[in-house]
Amino acid sequence: MPVSSPPRVIGATVTYGSRAASCLATVGAMRAAGVVAVVVVDNGSVDDARRQLDAYARAHAPVVRYHRLARNEGSAPAFGFAIERALESDADYLWLLDDDNLPHGDALAILLAEEQAMRAAGIDLCAVAPTRAPSDDPREIAAVRRAEQAREQPREDRSFAGVEFALFARRALERLGLRRPRISRDAAVVTYAPYGGLLVRLDVLRRIGLPDADLVLYGDDLEYTSRIVRAGGCIRLSAEAVVVDPRGGRWMPPGFEVLAMFRSTDDALLYYSMRNRIHRELRTGRRHSLARWTNAGLFWALCLVCLAVTRRPQKLRVLGRAAADAWAGRLGRRVELAG
């Protein structure tokens, strides 16, 4: 009886700025996990980082395949470029990681086993995402797993800027201790996933195409992976496969999301995150409905409260422009990005 060869996995990551050290650690971790090659897309890094990345790639060619873009094009074009290069290979799977992600333990082997189990069950259009934890501390990993079980996402066919009245009310009751969080019976199945840690077969990528470059960055991964589910497929969130996502300097602090927008530190990221989110919502359900207008009214009312608290009118202007552009369908690179 012939012995089947192990699946061939190609890794890919995108880096920018001065993040060569963390990127090379990610590349090394992917190689140690057993990928046959790694595509590194340099999204306009500074010169010193470019030299480090280029030298590493030359020293480890042809396994490490380095490609440089002249400027920071955003995550959608850069990951799209990486996916195109992966599709040119003879690999079976693509494993995407952010440039500061570190797989924990046998993360890749676990993802492969879970993906193959889905295929054995007759689900050919599928992908698997890991649990993303801020460290490899077992307590933090367990906390992330509990949070995923209790996570409720707004219904995008009626929400506005991520605000849905019913979900807002439930969360308010939870904060007051008047309601216990719902525990999902099927937290393993998700409607979209980030790029970081995603494992997907190349034949699935050929079916769903490339990320929408007009989104530029932020939320482009969610729109892209949601195509799998919209086409009748399935994305599984693995509880056992863990990728450490250190979540270093946050541009938006944790906590109540609308208030965090007003305390954010990067107006370009705020603009793209809001524009792309509203754009995705408007494509998901009816543009004009009582629920949509109610949730829009609640969002802007919360914005006025947060404006009074923070006294940062510039953030309201950014949010207003993002919402107007999303409503009008004005996508593309409309705000310049930091290097």
83: number of CA atoms within 13 Å, CB side?
27
Closest CA relative to residue 154, chosen from 162, 144, 143? 162
- DSSP per residue, 69-80: ESS---HHHHHH
Whether the Cβ atoms of residue 84 and residue 59 lie closer than 8 Å to each other: no
Closest CA relative to residue 35, chosen from 111, 100, 133? 111
Q: What is the pLDDT of residue 115?
A: 98
Q: Which one-letter amino acid corresponds to residue 27? A: V
Tens-binned pLDDT, residue by residue, of the chain (339 aa)? 455 789 999 999 999 999 999 999 999 999 999 999 999 999 999 999 999 999 999 999 999 999 999 999 999 999 999 999 999 999 999 999 999 999 999 999 999 999 999 999 999 999 999 999 999 999 999 999 988 877 788 999 999 999 999 998 888 887 778 777 776 655 589 999 999 999 999 999 999 999 999 999 999 999 999 999 999 999 999 999 999 998 766 788 877 899 999 999 999 999 999 999 999 999 998 999 999 999 999 999 999 999 999 999 999 999 999 999 999 999 999 999 876
Rounded to whole angstroms, the Cα distance separating 299 from 278 reads 12
Residues 6 or more apart from 13 whose CB is under 8 A from it? 23, 26, 27, 30, 38, 39, 40, 41, 82, 96, 97, 98, 99, 101
Domain annotation for the chain: domains and CATH numbers: 9-151+187-244 (3.90.550.10), 156-179+250-339 (no CATH)
Q: What is the pLDDT of residue 170?
A: 87
Closest CA relative to residue 251, chosen from 265, 263, 261? 265
